[in-house]
Homo-oligomer: A and B are copies of this chain.
Amino acid sequence: MSISQPYLLFLGDVTDPLSAKTARGIHQWRPNVCVGQLRLTEDTVSLGLDDLSLEQAKEAGAKTLVIGTANAGGFIPKTWLSTLILAAEMGFEIASGMHQRLSDVEELSALQKAGKTTLHDVRHFDDALDVGNGKERAGKRLLTVGTDCSVGKMFAALAIEKALQERDIKAQFKATGQTGILVQGSGISIDAVVADFISGAVEAISPAFTDHEWDIIEGQGSLFNPSYAGVSMGLLHGAQPDAMVLCHEIGRQHIRHLPHASLPTIEATIAANEQAAQLTNPNAKVVGICLNTSSLAEEDARELCAQWSERYQLPVTDPVRFSVNSIVDRLV
Protein backbone atom coordinates (compact mmCIF):
# COMPACT_ATOMS: atom_id res chain seq x y z
CA MET A 1 0.00 0.00 0.00
CA SER A 2 1.57 3.28 -1.10
CA ILE A 3 -0.29 6.58 -0.73
CA SER A 4 0.85 9.69 -2.59
CA GLN A 5 1.81 12.68 -0.45
CA PRO A 6 1.25 15.54 0.40
CA TYR A 7 -2.21 15.29 1.97
CA LEU A 8 -5.35 17.33 2.36
CA LEU A 9 -6.80 16.21 5.73
CA PHE A 10 -10.55 15.68 5.57
CA LEU A 11 -12.31 16.26 8.90
CA GLY A 12 -15.88 15.89 7.65
CA ASP A 13 -18.40 17.25 10.11
CA VAL A 14 -17.14 15.69 13.36
CA THR A 15 -17.30 17.87 16.44
CA ASP A 16 -15.74 15.50 18.99
CA PRO A 17 -11.96 16.15 19.15
CA LEU A 18 -11.33 12.45 19.98
CA SER A 19 -12.81 11.46 16.61
CA ALA A 20 -10.07 13.42 14.83
CA LYS A 21 -7.26 11.40 16.50
CA THR A 22 -6.00 10.02 13.20
CA ALA A 23 -5.77 13.43 11.52
CA ARG A 24 -4.07 14.84 14.61
CA GLY A 25 -1.53 11.99 14.57
CA ILE A 26 -0.70 12.59 10.91
CA HIS A 27 -0.30 16.32 11.52
CA GLN A 28 1.80 15.77 14.65
CA TRP A 29 4.27 13.37 13.04
CA ARG A 30 4.30 14.57 9.45
CA PRO A 31 3.48 18.32 9.48
CA ASN A 32 5.32 18.78 6.19
CA VAL A 33 2.99 16.46 4.27
CA CYS A 34 -0.22 18.27 5.40
CA VAL A 35 -1.03 21.15 3.05
CA GLY A 36 -4.29 21.96 4.79
CA GLN A 37 -7.58 20.72 6.20
CA LEU A 38 -11.06 20.42 4.70
CA ARG A 39 -14.01 20.89 7.08
CA LEU A 40 -17.64 20.59 5.98
CA THR A 41 -19.10 22.88 8.70
CA GLU A 42 -18.04 25.77 10.91
CA ASP A 43 -18.40 23.57 14.01
CA THR A 44 -16.11 20.83 12.74
CA VAL A 45 -12.99 20.11 14.81
CA SER A 46 -9.96 22.07 13.60
CA LEU A 47 -6.29 21.10 13.67
CA GLY A 48 -5.26 24.72 13.18
CA LEU A 49 -4.21 24.06 9.58
CA ASP A 50 -5.33 26.30 6.71
CA ASP A 51 -8.91 25.59 5.62
CA LEU A 52 -8.67 24.75 1.93
CA SER A 53 -11.26 23.92 -0.71
CA LEU A 54 -10.49 20.99 -3.01
CA GLU A 55 -9.47 23.50 -5.70
CA GLN A 56 -7.13 25.39 -3.38
CA ALA A 57 -5.61 22.12 -2.11
CA LYS A 58 -5.04 20.94 -5.68
CA GLU A 59 -3.27 24.18 -6.46
CA ALA A 60 -1.14 23.79 -3.33
CA GLY A 61 0.00 20.38 -4.59
CA ALA A 62 -2.09 17.99 -2.45
CA LYS A 63 -2.20 14.50 -3.95
CA THR A 64 -4.42 12.59 -1.53
CA LEU A 65 -7.56 13.41 0.45
CA VAL A 66 -7.10 11.58 3.76
CA ILE A 67 -10.15 10.82 5.89
CA GLY A 68 -8.67 11.61 9.27
CA THR A 69 -11.71 10.96 11.43
CA ALA A 70 -13.40 7.94 12.94
CA ASN A 71 -17.12 7.67 13.55
CA ALA A 72 -19.31 5.13 15.29
CA GLY A 73 -19.48 1.90 13.31
CA GLY A 74 -16.76 2.89 10.88
CA PHE A 75 -19.22 3.84 8.14
CA ILE A 76 -18.85 6.63 5.61
CA PRO A 77 -21.66 9.14 6.32
CA LYS A 78 -23.89 10.21 3.41
CA THR A 79 -23.05 13.86 4.11
CA TRP A 80 -19.44 13.23 3.05
CA LEU A 81 -20.17 11.55 -0.26
CA SER A 82 -20.47 14.54 -2.59
CA THR A 83 -17.10 15.88 -1.40
CA LEU A 84 -15.39 12.51 -1.76
CA ILE A 85 -16.83 11.98 -5.24
CA LEU A 86 -15.80 15.46 -6.36
CA ALA A 87 -12.28 14.85 -5.02
CA ALA A 88 -12.05 11.60 -6.97
CA GLU A 89 -13.30 13.33 -10.13
CA MET A 90 -10.61 15.98 -9.65
CA GLY A 91 -7.95 13.27 -9.53
CA PHE A 92 -7.19 13.16 -5.81
CA GLU A 93 -6.33 9.79 -4.36
CA ILE A 94 -8.51 9.04 -1.32
CA ALA A 95 -7.27 7.20 1.78
CA SER A 96 -9.42 5.93 4.61
CA GLY A 97 -8.93 3.90 7.77
CA MET A 98 -12.64 3.21 8.19
CA HIS A 99 -14.22 -0.24 8.25
CA GLN A 100 -16.51 0.45 5.30
CA ARG A 101 -14.47 0.38 2.13
CA LEU A 102 -14.28 3.39 -0.15
CA SER A 103 -14.41 0.87 -2.99
CA ASP A 104 -17.85 -0.24 -1.76
CA VAL A 105 -19.17 3.22 -2.69
CA GLU A 106 -20.35 2.66 -6.25
CA GLU A 107 -19.47 6.09 -7.62
CA LEU A 108 -15.96 5.99 -6.14
CA SER A 109 -15.35 2.48 -7.40
CA ALA A 110 -16.44 3.54 -10.89
CA LEU A 111 -14.08 6.52 -10.84
CA GLN A 112 -11.23 4.24 -9.78
CA LYS A 113 -12.01 1.83 -12.61
CA ALA A 114 -12.03 4.77 -15.01
CA GLY A 115 -8.50 5.62 -13.84
CA LYS A 116 -9.53 8.94 -12.28
CA THR A 117 -8.54 8.09 -8.70
CA THR A 118 -6.84 5.50 -6.49
CA LEU A 119 -8.69 4.39 -3.37
CA HIS A 120 -6.69 3.28 -0.32
CA ASP A 121 -8.66 1.32 2.26
CA VAL A 122 -5.83 1.00 4.75
CA ARG A 123 -7.77 -1.17 7.20
CA HIS A 124 -8.05 -3.87 4.56
CA PHE A 125 -5.48 -5.84 2.61
CA ASP A 126 -6.25 -7.85 -0.51
CA ASP A 127 -2.93 -8.14 -2.35
CA ALA A 128 -1.00 -11.41 -2.64
CA LEU A 129 1.71 -12.09 -0.05
CA ASP A 130 4.33 -14.79 0.43
CA VAL A 131 4.43 -16.75 3.67
CA GLY A 132 7.27 -15.74 5.98
CA ASN A 133 10.51 -17.68 5.99
CA GLY A 134 12.44 -16.22 8.93
CA LYS A 135 15.68 -15.99 6.94
CA GLU A 136 18.20 -13.50 8.33
CA ARG A 137 18.09 -10.28 6.30
CA ALA A 138 20.27 -7.19 6.12
CA GLY A 139 19.54 -4.10 8.24
CA LYS A 140 18.84 -3.38 11.89
CA ARG A 141 15.27 -3.46 13.18
CA LEU A 142 13.54 -2.18 16.28
CA LEU A 143 10.02 -3.34 17.16
CA THR A 144 7.73 -1.85 19.80
CA VAL A 145 5.95 -4.54 21.85
CA GLY A 146 3.48 -4.21 24.69
CA THR A 147 1.71 -5.52 27.74
CA ASP A 148 -1.55 -4.88 25.84
CA CYS A 149 -3.21 -3.12 22.89
CA SER A 150 -3.38 0.70 22.84
CA VAL A 151 -0.45 1.38 25.15
CA GLY A 152 1.45 3.70 22.82
CA LYS A 153 3.40 1.39 20.49
CA MET A 154 2.89 3.59 17.41
CA PHE A 155 3.73 6.75 19.33
CA ALA A 156 6.89 5.20 20.78
CA ALA A 157 8.03 3.99 17.36
CA LEU A 158 7.51 7.40 15.74
CA ALA A 159 9.24 9.16 18.66
CA ILE A 160 12.26 6.85 18.32
CA GLU A 161 12.38 7.40 14.54
CA LYS A 162 12.37 11.16 15.11
CA ALA A 163 15.01 11.06 17.84
CA LEU A 164 17.31 8.96 15.65
CA GLN A 165 16.85 11.32 12.70
CA GLU A 166 17.66 14.29 14.95
CA ARG A 167 21.02 12.64 15.55
CA ASP A 168 21.49 12.20 11.78
CA ILE A 169 20.96 8.46 12.03
CA LYS A 170 18.84 7.32 9.11
CA ALA A 171 15.73 5.57 10.40
CA GLN A 172 12.47 4.61 8.71
CA PHE A 173 9.16 4.09 10.47
CA LYS A 174 7.36 0.97 9.22
CA ALA A 175 3.59 0.98 9.71
CA THR A 176 1.47 -2.06 10.62
CA GLY A 177 -1.82 -0.33 11.52
CA GLN A 178 -4.17 2.10 9.83
CA THR A 179 -3.07 5.35 11.50
CA GLY A 180 0.58 4.43 11.04
CA ILE A 181 -0.03 3.70 7.35
CA LEU A 182 -1.68 7.10 6.85
CA VAL A 183 1.18 8.84 8.70
CA GLN A 184 3.83 7.09 6.63
CA GLY A 185 1.95 6.75 3.35
CA SER A 186 2.81 3.04 3.21
CA GLY A 187 2.57 -0.17 5.22
CA ILE A 188 0.22 -3.10 5.73
CA SER A 189 -2.60 -3.41 8.28
CA ILE A 190 -1.18 -6.56 9.78
CA ASP A 191 -4.32 -7.67 11.59
CA ALA A 192 -6.22 -7.63 8.28
CA VAL A 193 -4.07 -10.14 6.38
CA VAL A 194 -5.00 -13.83 6.12
CA ALA A 195 -3.59 -15.66 9.16
CA ASP A 196 -1.09 -17.71 7.17
CA PHE A 197 0.67 -14.57 5.99
CA ILE A 198 1.23 -12.54 9.19
CA SER A 199 5.00 -12.99 9.39
CA GLY A 200 5.27 -12.84 5.60
CA ALA A 201 3.53 -9.46 5.59
CA VAL A 202 6.06 -8.06 8.06
CA GLU A 203 8.92 -9.44 5.97
CA ALA A 204 7.39 -7.52 3.04
CA ILE A 205 6.99 -4.30 5.07
CA SER A 206 10.60 -4.41 6.26
CA PRO A 207 12.67 -6.25 3.63
CA ALA A 208 16.48 -6.46 3.61
CA PHE A 209 18.08 -2.99 3.37
CA THR A 210 21.54 -1.39 3.38
CA ASP A 211 20.68 2.24 2.50
CA HIS A 212 19.78 3.33 6.02
CA GLU A 213 20.50 2.34 9.61
CA TRP A 214 17.27 1.30 11.31
CA ASP A 215 13.75 0.21 10.49
CA ILE A 216 11.48 1.17 13.40
CA ILE A 217 8.52 -1.22 13.20
CA GLU A 218 5.19 -0.40 14.81
CA GLY A 219 4.00 -3.25 17.06
CA GLN A 220 0.43 -4.50 17.49
CA GLY A 221 -1.40 -6.13 20.37
CA SER A 222 0.44 -8.23 22.94
CA LEU A 223 1.54 -11.83 23.39
CA PHE A 224 -0.68 -11.71 26.49
CA ASN A 225 -3.87 -10.49 24.82
CA PRO A 226 -6.10 -13.55 24.29
CA SER A 227 -7.84 -11.88 21.34
CA TYR A 228 -4.82 -10.83 19.30
CA ALA A 229 -1.67 -12.67 20.45
CA GLY A 230 -1.47 -14.59 17.18
CA VAL A 231 -0.98 -11.30 15.33
CA SER A 232 1.67 -10.18 17.83
CA MET A 233 3.53 -13.49 17.55
CA GLY A 234 3.63 -13.45 13.74
CA LEU A 235 4.66 -9.79 13.80
CA LEU A 236 7.51 -10.60 16.20
CA HIS A 237 8.81 -13.42 14.00
CA GLY A 238 8.44 -11.43 10.79
CA ALA A 239 10.16 -8.37 12.26
CA GLN A 240 13.16 -10.39 13.51
CA PRO A 241 14.03 -7.40 15.71
CA ASP A 242 17.52 -6.65 16.98
CA ALA A 243 15.93 -4.42 19.59
CA MET A 244 12.51 -4.25 21.23
CA VAL A 245 10.98 -1.43 23.24
CA LEU A 246 8.30 -2.48 25.69
CA CYS A 247 5.25 -0.21 26.00
CA HIS A 248 2.93 -0.17 29.00
CA GLU A 249 0.21 2.05 30.46
CA ILE A 250 0.51 2.83 34.18
CA GLY A 251 -2.75 2.19 36.01
CA ARG A 252 -4.41 -0.09 33.48
CA GLN A 253 -6.43 -2.61 35.48
CA HIS A 254 -6.90 -5.43 32.99
CA ILE A 255 -6.49 -6.36 29.32
CA ARG A 256 -8.46 -3.87 27.23
CA HIS A 257 -12.14 -4.82 26.83
CA LEU A 258 -11.58 -8.04 28.87
CA PRO A 259 -12.11 -7.45 32.62
CA HIS A 260 -11.43 -11.14 33.35
CA ALA A 261 -7.95 -11.04 31.79
CA SER A 262 -5.17 -9.68 33.98
CA LEU A 263 -2.17 -7.77 32.67
CA PRO A 264 1.18 -9.58 32.54
CA THR A 265 4.08 -8.42 34.66
CA ILE A 266 6.88 -6.45 33.03
CA GLU A 267 9.26 -9.33 33.76
CA ALA A 268 6.97 -11.85 32.05
CA THR A 269 6.45 -9.56 29.05
CA ILE A 270 10.18 -9.09 28.56
CA ALA A 271 10.87 -12.81 28.91
CA ALA A 272 8.09 -13.94 26.55
CA ASN A 273 8.96 -11.43 23.82
CA GLU A 274 12.69 -12.13 23.98
CA GLN A 275 12.13 -15.87 23.92
CA ALA A 276 9.74 -15.75 20.96
CA ALA A 277 11.76 -13.17 19.01
CA GLN A 278 14.92 -15.21 19.31
CA LEU A 279 13.41 -17.79 16.95
CA THR A 280 14.23 -15.49 14.01
CA ASN A 281 16.89 -13.27 15.63
CA PRO A 282 19.02 -14.93 18.32
CA ASN A 283 20.23 -11.49 19.48
CA ALA A 284 16.78 -9.97 20.02
CA LYS A 285 16.71 -7.96 23.27
CA VAL A 286 14.41 -5.52 25.03
CA VAL A 287 16.41 -2.28 25.17
CA GLY A 288 14.01 0.08 26.89
CA ILE A 289 10.55 0.72 28.32
CA CYS A 290 8.07 3.41 27.25
CA LEU A 291 5.36 4.19 29.79
CA ASN A 292 2.10 6.04 29.40
CA THR A 293 2.08 7.85 32.75
CA SER A 294 -0.87 10.15 32.04
CA SER A 295 -2.63 8.93 35.19
CA LEU A 296 0.21 10.30 37.37
CA ALA A 297 1.39 13.79 38.26
CA GLU A 298 4.52 14.72 36.32
CA GLU A 299 6.81 14.57 39.34
CA ASP A 300 5.51 11.12 40.31
CA ALA A 301 5.96 9.97 36.72
CA ARG A 302 9.56 11.10 36.67
CA GLU A 303 10.25 9.28 39.94
CA LEU A 304 8.56 6.11 38.70
CA CYS A 305 10.67 6.09 35.53
CA ALA A 306 13.83 6.42 37.67
CA GLN A 307 12.74 3.59 39.99
CA TRP A 308 11.85 1.27 37.11
CA SER A 309 15.06 2.09 35.33
CA GLU A 310 16.92 0.88 38.41
CA ARG A 311 14.70 -2.18 38.84
CA TYR A 312 14.83 -3.42 35.21
CA GLN A 313 18.30 -2.08 34.40
CA LEU A 314 16.86 -0.47 31.27
CA PRO A 315 16.15 3.08 30.14
CA VAL A 316 12.54 3.88 31.15
CA THR A 317 10.66 6.96 29.94
CA ASP A 318 7.30 8.44 29.01
CA PRO A 319 7.76 9.45 25.35
CA VAL A 320 4.90 11.98 25.52
CA ARG A 321 6.09 13.79 28.66
CA PHE A 322 9.82 13.38 28.53
CA SER A 323 11.82 12.10 25.56
CA VAL A 324 13.15 8.83 24.21
CA ASN A 325 16.76 10.04 24.36
CA SER A 326 17.74 7.54 27.04
CA ILE A 327 16.54 4.68 24.83
CA VAL A 328 18.23 6.08 21.73
CA ASP A 329 21.46 6.46 23.77
CA ARG A 330 21.29 2.73 24.41
CA LEU A 331 20.68 2.00 20.69
CA VAL A 332 23.64 3.93 19.26
Report if A199-B229 is in contact (Cβ < 8 Å); known contacts: A194-B191, A258-B133: yes
Contact check: which of B135, B195, B261, B275 meets A194 at CB < 8 Å?
A: B195
The reply to whether B133 and A226 contact each other, CB–CB distance below 8 Å, is yes
- Once bound together, how far apart are the Cα atoms of A232 and B279, in whole Å? 14
Interface magnitude class on chain A? 35 or more
A131 on the B face (CB < 8 A): yes
A7 on the B face (CB < 8 A): no
The reply to whether A230 and B234 contact each other, CB–CB distance below 8 Å, is yes
A192 on the B face (CB < 8 A): yes
The reply to whether A195 and B133 contact each other, CB–CB distance below 8 Å, is no
Nearest B-chain residue to A262, judged by Cβ: B279
B-contact 0/1 string along A256-278, CB 8 Å cutoff: 00101100000000001001100
Looking at the assembled complex, report how far the CB atom of A143 sits from the nearest CB atom of chain B, in whole angstroms: 14
A185 on the B face (CB < 8 A): no
Give every chain B residue within 8 A of A276 (Cβ-Cβ).
223, 229
A27 on the B face (CB < 8 A): no
Report if A231-B135 is in contact (Cβ < 8 Å); known contacts: A224-B279, A272-B275: no
The reply to whether B227 and A195 contact each other, CB–CB distance below 8 Å, is no
Looking at the assembled complex, report how far the CB atom of A320 sits from the nearest CB atom of chain B, in whole angstroms: 27
- Between A and B, 15 residue pairs with Cβ closer than 8 Å are A191-B196, A195-B195, A195-B198, A196-B228, A199-B226, A199-B230, A224-B279, A229-B233, A229-B234, A229-B237, A230-B230, A230-B231, A230-B233, A231-B234, A272-B275
A280 on the B face (CB < 8 A): yes
Give every chain B residue within 8 A of A275 (Cβ-Cβ).
272
A132 on the B face (CB < 8 A): yes
B-contact 0/1 string along A162-199, CB 8 Å cutoff: 00000000000000000000000000001111111011
A31 on the B face (CB < 8 A): no
Interface residues of A in 277-318 (CB under 8 A from B): 279-280
The reply to whether A199 and B224 contact each other, CB–CB distance below 8 Å, is no
- Once bound together, how far apart are the Cα atoms of A196 and B195, in whole Å? 8
Contact check: which of B131, B223, B231 meets A196 at CB < 8 Å?
A: B231
Looking at the assembled complex, report how far the CB atom of A232 sits from the nearest CB atom of chain B, in whole angstroms: 8
Report if A228-B131 is in contact (Cβ < 8 Å); known contacts: A233-B233, A272-B275, A275-B272: yes
Q: 4 new A-B pairs (CB below 8 Å) besides A193-B195, A199-B229, A230-B237?
A: A192-B195, A195-B231, A199-B230, A226-B279
